[in-house]
Amino acid sequence: MSNIPHLLILGGGFGGLAAANEIRKNLPASQIKITVVDKKDWFMVGFAKLWIINGTRTFENSIGSLNELRKKEINFIKEEITQINLHNKNIETRNGILSYDFLIIAMGAVLAPEKIPGLSENGMNLYDHNQLTEIHNKIKK
């Protein structure tokens, strides 16, 4: 059992990655273990969406792998979080339990286009990476 405190960061988007990188920059792995958990194993910089829409890049060459965090001595686990247990200082995923000493929740927003009447049927969402190619094709017409 290690005496090194464990920081668990939920979310591999802007907030989670900024926190992980800033903390690692200031505290070496000998002083704190950092683990990022996200349900996807990739990250896209926001403005890359515009490159996909204008056709200068594809989705595949606009993303970075969260597995690269290991090069900075930041652990990455691709898992879906099912429960946060603040009292027990652990989280549950589909495949197990992860304990922590410190927790950062940076899971981002959940899109709900169905909450705006007509948006799902008649609109597209720039923040949904699955719709970027469709947006590009409609603009191209």
Tens-binned pLDDT, residue by residue, of the chain (141 aa):
579 999 999 999 999 999 999 999 999 999 999 999 999 999 998 888 888 898 899 888 899 999 999 999 999 999 999 999 999 999 999 999 999 999 999 998 888 889 999 988 888 888 888 888 888 888 887
- For the chain, which domains are there? 6-110 (3.50.50.60)
DSSP-derived 3-state class of residue 23: helix
The CA distance from 120 to 137, in Å, is 18
Residue of 134, 84, 128, 87 whose CA lies nearest to 107: 84
In sequence order, which residues have a C-beta less than 8 Å from that of residue 130 and are 6 or more positions away?
A: none
